[in-house]
Structure 1
């Protein structure tokens, strides 16, 4: 394995001095294939950062329509229309990782909601040399069948490793069996400490859960909700959730019984976070996106361009 110094040298020769790979191979006394691998490794480690600026007039109707209606910033990710929802999510996750790298700086704290979307984003993070940063888990992950540590813990570790951050776990279940149990736990000092960190976030990063999506959130695929829970959500007109807190298409969340047992941040706390980045891929979550926007929970959307175009045309016009 080549040293960091050698990776820096290869990257400088290729990207700054614009030498060919054959010329670099001769300079480094190695093979062309090794040079190619070194450049890929340099990009992976963040030694080389490649940014492609989208034209400012890219799909202005879509951007302006969403911004005008909801007062948010939309970041469109170009993807071919024939891709599956899984592949679209991967592309959007990569775009989200780049956007986060631009906004997360030293001294900041980042709240993350575990799930399929954040798992995908965590795979695309590039290292950034920061100091005095925190990554805070937004909601509990345990269920009646599993501790949830593996899922939430791995996501938290990837974010903390990428940014050199302290990680703050939230060791509570995703849902308590009884609202009274949650009320009692929320008085514990260890829990209150994490809740206070959530109130001090600079950025919150989350996907939107929806049982309608072809890539359903983990909470809809694991042993988190039983038949009565699903019946209660349907009766309440729920269309989605953010960090396991549920809402309707009009953005309201009052009177939804499951929210009294959820460990995600209440929406008043979430709205006070300066930058709230919502990640959406595929049409299966658009009704949930509409609800989240109506509730004022989002400041930035990262979304694939075909879905954003359809959203602007069919739901907003």
Structure 2
């Protein structure tokens, strides 16, 4: 009987019959012994939760070719979000983050430990998340958010709360500064049992979700616009040829991070730790983040990439220019310095 089945089971069966078996909603209603309006609601739920993802492929659509090129070069699963060139940067980010939220949902399982980095992009993703009940899952904050002007707790905790609510997961905040004044202070804090508990969760992450920070972004990255860095810090990053960051850990265009002094004071996870996470979802919007994105990809930080079409096109075209200059792409290990 219909009453003995879970709503999730009905949603899955309705989606399979409608999208895979080409049954009408009337036929599905008869088989499930529900009303036609109930079938309509089940199909809407399937789309909203990401169980079903509708893709429209036009013969003029360049997204598949861009995805193939990026996948071949960087060995990542990639989703290119088609957006007209006339759309402004803020709207581009909203569309990319909506797609990201719908892509992430089906990937989240029970008993997962999901690391989330705060930032403007992931904040936008968190606003579009749809509910998916899991059991025994944990959302852990990847980096501290405090600075000399604010504790950062309100900003970061709201992002973590949305992820926790969406997936029925326990939330573990990381109430430390984004950057310590002294590297020695960080070393001492990292010996505290309360901090070690959070670090232990990060070490056991099954998924990490993050954007790429860039000082040159048209929509400013929160770490650069929120008072986290002073002029001395900015000069230090420029001297080290830094192009971007993930979870307030900085890297160069070739993906290397050795010798970047500010990383010694950062509360974010070491890039080597991130590379050990099985699923690493990177969300990027805006061509102004291209250099940071290329550095993150060179560092091998992502297994999954969600980005807008214009940025994807610029990434592929810039790679093509590099190929012409050197007579072929460098192997990944050589490009990343690993």
What TM-score, normalized to structure 2?
0.80
Query: Which residue number corresponds to residue 200 of structure 2?
Result: 196
Query: Which residue number corresponds to residue 230 of structure 2?
Result: 226
Query: Which residue number corresponds to residue 159 of structure 1?
Result: 163
Do the aligned partners of residues 79 and 244 (structure 1) sit closer, same or farther apart at CA in structure 2, a change above 3 Å counting?
A: same
**Distance of 2:261 and 2:49 partners within structure 1:** 49
**Contact (CA 8 Å) 2:140, 2:201: kept in 1 or not?**
yes
Structure 1 residues 149-188: Cα deviation after superposition (integer angstroms, max 9, x where no partner): 1110000000000000000101100000000000000001
Count of residues in Structure 1 that have an aligned counterpart in Structure 2: 291
How far residue 55 of structure 1 moved from its aligned partner, in angstroms, is 4.6
**Distance of 1:48 and 1:314 partners within structure 2:** 32
How far residue 236 of structure 1 moved from its aligned partner, in angstroms, is 0.5
Do the aligned partners of residues 98 and 48 (structure 1) sit closer, same or farther apart at CA in structure 2, a change above 3 Å counting?
A: closer
Q: 1:282 aligns with which of 266, 286, 301?
A: 286
**Distance of 2:133 and 2:182 partners within structure 1:** 43
**Contact (CA 8 Å) 2:50, 2:105: kept in 1 or not?**
no
- SS at the partner of 2:307? strand
**Distance of 1:311 and 1:48 partners within structure 2:** 27
**Contact (CA 8 Å) 1:119, 1:155: kept in 2 or not?**
yes
**Distance of 1:46 and 1:80 partners within structure 2:** 23
Q: 1:86 aligns with which of 82, 90, 99?
A: 90
How far residue 81 of structure 1 moved from its aligned partner, in angstroms, is 1.4
Structure 2 residue 38 is the aligned partner of structure 1 residue 51: no
Structure 1 residues 111-146: Cα deviation after superposition (integer angstroms, max 9, x where no partner): 100010111000100000111111010000000010
What TM-score, normalized to structure 1?
0.85
Do the aligned partners of residues 97 and 48 (structure 1) sit closer, same or farther apart at CA in structure 2, a change above 3 Å counting?
A: closer
Structure 1 residues 287-312: Cα deviation after superposition (integer angstroms, max 9, x where no partner): 01111111111111101122201210
Do the aligned partners of residues 43 and 224 (structure 1) sit closer, same or farther apart at CA in structure 2, a change above 3 Å counting?
A: same
User: Which runs of 5 or more structure 1 residues have no equivalent in the other structure?
Assistant: 19-26, 28-34
- SS at the partner of 1:240? strand
Do the aligned partners of residues 160 and 241 (structure 1) sit closer, same or farther apart at CA in structure 2, a change above 3 Å counting?
A: same
**Contact (CA 8 Å) 2:50, 2:106: kept in 1 or not?**
no
Query: Which residue number corresponds to residue 30 of structure 1?
Result: none
Structure 2 residue 308 is the aligned partner of structure 1 residue 304: yes
**Contact (CA 8 Å) 1:247, 1:292: kept in 2 or not?**
yes
User: Which runs of 5 or more structure 2 residues have no equivalent in the other structure?
Assistant: 1-6, 19-23, 27-34, 322-338
**Distance of 2:180 and 2:98 partners within structure 1:** 33
How far residue 227 of structure 1 moved from its aligned partner, in angstroms, is 0.8
Do the aligned partners of residues 134 and 215 (structure 1) sit closer, same or farther apart at CA in structure 2, a change above 3 Å counting?
A: same
- SS at the partner of 1:224? coil
Structure 2 residue 256 is the aligned partner of structure 1 residue 255: no
How far residue 64 of structure 1 moved from its aligned partner, in angstroms, is 2.4
How far residue 17 of structure 1 moved from its aligned partner, in angstroms, is 3.8
**Contact (CA 8 Å) 1:239, 1:249: kept in 2 or not?**
yes
Do the aligned partners of residues 45 and 103 (structure 1) sit closer, same or farther apart at CA in structure 2, a change above 3 Å counting?
A: closer
**Distance of 2:91 and 2:185 partners within structure 1:** 40
